[in-house]
Amino acid sequence: MANSAEQETQHALLVVFGQFALEIGLISGIQGVKLDQKTYEHSPQTKILEFLITILSGAKYLQEISLAAHPLDKDVALAQAWGQICWADYSGVSRTLSGLSWAEVRALVAVLEQVGQPFIDRELKLLRSLGQTIRIDGDLTGIPVSNTSRTYPNATYGHMDDEIRLGYQAGMTSLHSPTYGRLWLSVEHHAGDTVSCTQAETLVLAAEKRTGLRPRRRTELLLARLEAFREERQPAEKRLESQKVALEKAHSAKHETLTQLQEAQLTPATKPERIHSLERRCVRRAQAITAAQKRLEKTLRLLQEHDEEEQVLQTRLHRFEQENVDNPDPIEIRFRMDAGFGTYSNIALLIEMGYELYTKLHNHKVVQALQRKVQPETTWTRVGKNAEMVAWSTLKLDHCPYPLHVGLERFHTGDKKLKHSALAYFGNVPVIEDLPAWFGTYNGRQTIEAGIKEAKQVFFIHRLKVRSEPAIYLQEAMAIFAANFIRWATVWIEQNSEQNENQFQVRKMGIKRQVQVAGHTSAKVILNSKGMLLGFSPASSLAGKSLQFRTAISPDRPNYFLPFSTILALIVQKLR
């Protein structure tokens, strides 16, 4: 090839990812973030890119940058592919990450979101053109650290993986994508003691911010709820007035008894028994005042709580009315969440926010109440291999302001015992008519559970590579970005590579094997002005396979096509 450069790499697919990163503006975006750190051998932006590649490589520990069998920082071809002359030692990367401020991390995360936004926007447009419902899932996952550690800032104890562990929580939302299967929308960093029932609105708002879409707020339901809520106040107000009267009577009775006691004590002829009786009556009158005061205070607290909740609902109504005005093109969106989020307050909120809602009920007492509704002659519908359901339409549950379609599930376990749970639905789908479809649609939220599993087993989001809290959040954001990035890159490679009999079918490998196998396979990289040829090593599991595709020459990489000897000389000069 004319004007070509040939190099060896131990990280074949990561080299290709560098081409893709260059094309979508990821490299220039990160390099454009202002970081308040000095440049010595390497710029802080270079080390941020190196951290992202470490996550893309599936490294468990930051030290693998320099101490793995094939260190990332020794792979010159990889650095070249990502627009850099060479990489820093892992210790330098660690120091840069430790020095990041929250503002700098948010700027870096904003770049990741900006780079990924066109892909998300295209998928949303495709979903709408196909007439498909936009499906969003939300969940909270624990990121534990050692229970004896004292070096992770603001780590707290909470429920993680069915245990009480020290660490953090990550709130995550994902979008069902017809092209990529699953795309992460957002991740939020939380303290370890954060619980799911407090995060439903946070997850929904994060998804709305990322997609730029939201359904029409159901203000008519919220207005009716407010009116009913105000009517519920009337009995308490009447009770308050009667309790005020009762308290006044109790004070009058005590005053009267005290007067009688004082008169009896001043009368020599009064029998001791009479005085003793009046003294005991005074005690009873004082006790009656205390009881009346407690009843009055309880009612006052109840009315105060009622006022505060009414104010919350009124504020919500005003906000939703304005959001409807600002949202001339509302769409239908389905949101699925597990039982941890399925409190009545969360259910009511998401209904009012306009969502089609699939969830499990948080309150276990509902399951017991539903079990009591089941009669011996009740017919159960098989909905899964070991699962059956019975359901009730528009069931009004105590403390839930809106009627729900409610289904009771029972699962046959191996020990011949039955496990029960309750599903709830709000929307326009007649789920009662097709219980297997209802069961399947709700359990389709396992896609986010699979995504969390992938984030932990492939990108090791739960193995913290840093101990600075801003950098921990950056790792969380980069882990979900990496999962999206590889899916985008897979389609890009397929669309841009030359088709031949030795073509490496990257899509067939799946994300895990792309990271753990293709990302750590040796290959020969040949580049010229027309494109790249990647030939996998004969000693690798991909022997005989190759990738050839067109790439653009970019000013981001002025040294990209220099001879290898010249590149080495530049590296030596840079390190002096």
Q: Residues 299-312: pLDDT tens digits?
A: 999 999 999 999 99
Task: Indicate the residue type of 516.
Answer: Q
- For the chain, give the percent of residues with pLDDT over 70: 95
pLDDT tens digits, 538-570: 988 899 898 888 765 443 443 443 444 444 444
Q: Which residues contact 220 (CB under 8 A, 6 or more apart)?
A: none
CA distance 293 to 283: 15
CA distances from 439 to 180, 358, 359, 416, 511 (A): 24, 10, 11, 22, 28
Query: Of 153, 188, 50, whose CA–CA distance to 473 is shortest?
Result: 188
Would you tell me how many other CB atoms lie within 10 Å of the CB of residue 247?
A: 17
**pLDDT of res. 498:** 82
pLDDT tens digits, 32-54: 999 999 998 899 999 999 999 99
CA distance 555 to 288: 87
CA distance 408 to 391: 6
Query: Of 431, 415, 448, 327, whose CA–CA distance to 383 is shortest?
Result: 431
Query: Of 507, 510, 544, 506, whose CA–CA distance to 524 is shortest?
Result: 544
CA distance 228 to 11: 64
CA distances from 1 to 83, 205, 538, 547 (A): 22, 53, 22, 16
Task: Indicate the residue type of 111.
Answer: V
Sole residue written with tokens 């490496």 = 504
Query: Of 377, 439, 444, whose CA–CA distance to 408 is shortest?
Result: 439
pLDDT tens digits, 456-465: 999 999 999 9
**pLDDT of res. 415:** 74
- Domain ranges, ordered by start, for the chain: 7-99+497-575, 232-325, 339-444
Residue 430 confidence (pLDDT) above 50: yes
Tokens representing residue 148 in the block: 């004896």
DSSP for 441-462 reads: HHHTTHHHHHHHHHHHHTS-TT
Q: Which residues contact 370 (CB under 8 A, 6 or more apart)?
A: 392, 406, 408, 420, 422
**pLDDT of res. 501:** 79
Which whole number is the average pLDDT over 134-157?
95
CA distances from 555 to 52, 147, 511, 559 (A): 22, 49, 31, 9
**pLDDT of res. 551:** 63
pLDDT tens digits, 464-495: 999 999 999 999 999 999 999 999 999 999 88
> What's the gap between Cα 290 and its chain centre?
49
Tokens representing residue 3 in the block: 């004007």
Cross-strand pairs, 336? 137, 358
Cross-strand pairs, 183? 175
Q: Are 165 and 157 in contact (CB under 8 A)?
A: yes
**pLDDT of res. 505:** 87
CA distance 316 to 310: 10
Residue 272 confidence (pLDDT) above 60: yes
Task: Indicate the residue type of 415.
Answer: D
Query: Of 391, 212, 409, 219, whose CA–CA distance to 316 is shortest?
Result: 219
Q: Which residues contact 307 (CB under 8 A, 6 or more apart)?
A: none
Residue 133 confidence (pLDDT) above 80: yes
Which whole number is the average pLDDT over 151-164?
93
Tokens representing residue 35 in the block: 């970081």
Would you tell me how many other CB atoms lie within 10 Å of the CB of residue 460?
A: 18
Write down the mean pLDDT value for the chain.
91
CA distances from 273 to 277, 280, 283 (A): 6, 11, 16
- The pairing of strands 531-536 and 523-528 is antiparallel
Residue 19 confidence (pLDDT) above 80: yes
Query: Of 479, 461, 507, 442, whose CA–CA distance to 180 is shortest?
Result: 507
pLDDT tens digits, 442-459: 999 999 999 999 999 999
Which whole number is the average pLDDT over 149-155?
93
Sole residue written with tokens 């639905």 = 425
Across 495-545, the runs of DSSP E, i.e. the strands, are 523-528, 531-536
**pLDDT of res. 254:** 92
Quickly list H helices, 402-547. 435-443, 446-457, 469-496, 510-516
Q: Are 187 and 498 in contact (CB under 8 A)?
A: no
CA distance 30 to 474: 13
Residue 391 confidence (pLDDT) above 80: yes
Residue 2 confidence (pLDDT) above 90: no
Q: Which residues contact 192 (CB under 8 A, 6 or more apart)?
A: 142, 144, 155, 156, 157, 158, 160, 165, 166, 167, 168, 169
pLDDT tens digits, 68-113: 999 999 999 999 999 999 999 999 999 999 999 999 999 999 999 9
Which whole number is the average pLDDT over 192-199?
96
**Confidence label for 526 from pLDDT (cuts 50, 70 and 90):** confident
**pLDDT of res. 270:** 84
Task: Name the helix (H) or strand (E) containing 114.
Answer: helix 102-129
**Confidence label for 3 from pLDDT (cuts 50, 70 and 90):** low
Cross-strand pairs, 187? 172
**pLDDT of res. 290:** 95
pLDDT tens digits, 334-381: 999 999 999 999 999 999 999 999 999 999 899 999 999 999 899 999
- The pairing of strands 134-144 and 333-337 is parallel
372, with CB counted inside 10 A (0-12, 13-18, 19+), is: exposed
Quickly list H helices, 267-385. 272-325, 344-352, 364-373
Q: Are 48 and 86 in contact (CB under 8 A)?
A: no
Which whole number is the average pLDDT over 147-154?
92
**pLDDT of res. 4:** 64
Task: Indicate the residue type of 180.
Answer: Y
**pLDDT of res. 567:** 43
